[in-house]
């Protein structure tokens, strides 16, 4: 390995934009597909999943994502998936992760809400014990399901409120899913103490991001790469310290960006916008968080000190406690100072 690759592999990290079901490894997806063979189009051979995960566009990605979601049939599936996601994150030296969970999708497939929450909490406790990783949850609305899904997600968040829940989000397609309609649900979630972290500006323009800020009170924005098209928006983000959860490979694989060379990450950084590096749905996109750090380092021309600054930005933008941030920052500092290549 090169010195930078070695540095990234050992660097303590926080991951802020990673989807629960989208993080299922090929092994877990294939096992679930075999369990439900004949009732799902998902391949049962892990080697065949690379072709299955070759997305034509964002709409096709959503179609495939939902087919994997259909494999999660009971609370034990939820627990196993969550625990295995934690194992993979911990392997990459992730100390803290905010997983985007879509509980509505599990509940509508017949898993009771209390069982979903008990399963992820059981996995969170086990992961902390076994892997030393601190998991937290962002419950997100599947935007394509509309206002009924928003109401159900809010009610589930407020009624169940698992111990690890820190945020309220909005995912799925942006096209045809205007952000302002979700304002009442975000208002209620924020009033209950949850942080606002909607996706915006991934496959649509800057207006979606303005709506996320002005209508949904966004404190961080998932993706947000469309900000590069609007200097005023970039100034607003920089001035108010609103971080973007950038996922470079995801943007290319879903065709939101034509190529990695055309990714606007550098323009955002040059404008003073706080960016964090994340993996989104890593097995589906054939990537890892480590690889996303390497991509970002290449796009930004960073050495290991610059890469460490990206890790620090994620900690700062996280919803980890102040004490937890201080501890993780100290670990990043000690690792960086002690690195000899």
- H/E run at residue 19: strand 13-19
- H/E run at residue 275: strand 275-277
Q: Given 202, 245, 290, 292, which residue is catalytic?
A: 202
Task: Please calculate the CA angle 42-43-44 and round it to the nearest 5 degrees.
Answer: 120
Residue 320 contacts residue 17 (beta carbons within 8 Å): no
Angle in degrees, 0-180, between the axes of helices 231-240 and 206-214, rounded to the nearest 10: 30
Residue 202 annotated in active site:
yes
The DSSP-derived string for 32-58 is HHHHTTTS--S-SSGGGHHHHT--SSH
> Which residue numbers are catalytic?
202
């Amino acid at each position: 390995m090169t010195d930078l690759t070695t540095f990234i592999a050992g660097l303590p990290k926080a991951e802020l934009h990673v989807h629960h079901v989208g993080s299922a490894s090929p092994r877990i997806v294939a096992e679930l597909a075999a369990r439900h063979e004949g009732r799902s189009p998902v391949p049962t051979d892990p080697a065949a999943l690379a072709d299955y995960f070759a997305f034509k566009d964002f709409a096709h990605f959503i179609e495939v994502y939902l087919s994997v979601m259909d494999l999660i049939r009971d609370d034990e599936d939820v627990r196993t998936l969550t625990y295995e996601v934690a194992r993979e994150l911990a392997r990459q030296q992730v100390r803290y992760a905010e997983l985007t969970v879509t509980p509505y999708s599990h509940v509508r497939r017949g898993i009771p809400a209390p069982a979903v929450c008990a399963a992820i909490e059981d996995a969170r406790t086990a992961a902390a014990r076994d892997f030393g990783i601190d998991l937290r949850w962002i419950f997100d609305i599947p935007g394509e399901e509309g206002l009924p899904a928003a109401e159900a997600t809010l009610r589930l968040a407020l009624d169940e409120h698992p111990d690890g829940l820190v945020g309220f989000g909005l995912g799925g397609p942006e096209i045809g899913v205007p952000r302002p309609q979700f304002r009442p649900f975000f208002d209620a979630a924020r009033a209950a103490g949850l942080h606002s972290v909607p996706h915006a500006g991934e496959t649509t323009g800057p207006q979606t991001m303005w709506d996320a800020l002005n209508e949904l009170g966004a404190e961080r924005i998932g993706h947000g790469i469309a900000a590069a098209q609007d200097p005023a928006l970039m100034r607003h983000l920089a001035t108010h310290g609103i971080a973007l959860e950038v996922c470079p490979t995801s943007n290319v694989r879903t065709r939101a960006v034509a190529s990695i060379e055309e990714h606007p990450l550098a323009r955002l950084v040059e404008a003073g916008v706080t960016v964090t590096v994340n993996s989104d749905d890593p097995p589906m996109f054939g990537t890892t968080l480590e690889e996303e750090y390497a991509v970002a380092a290449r796009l930004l021309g960073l050495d290991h000190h610059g890469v460490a600054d990206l890790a620090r930005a994620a900690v700062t933008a996280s919803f980890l406690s102040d004490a937890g941030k201080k501890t993780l920052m100290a670990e990043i500092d000690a690792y960086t100072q002690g690195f000899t290549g």
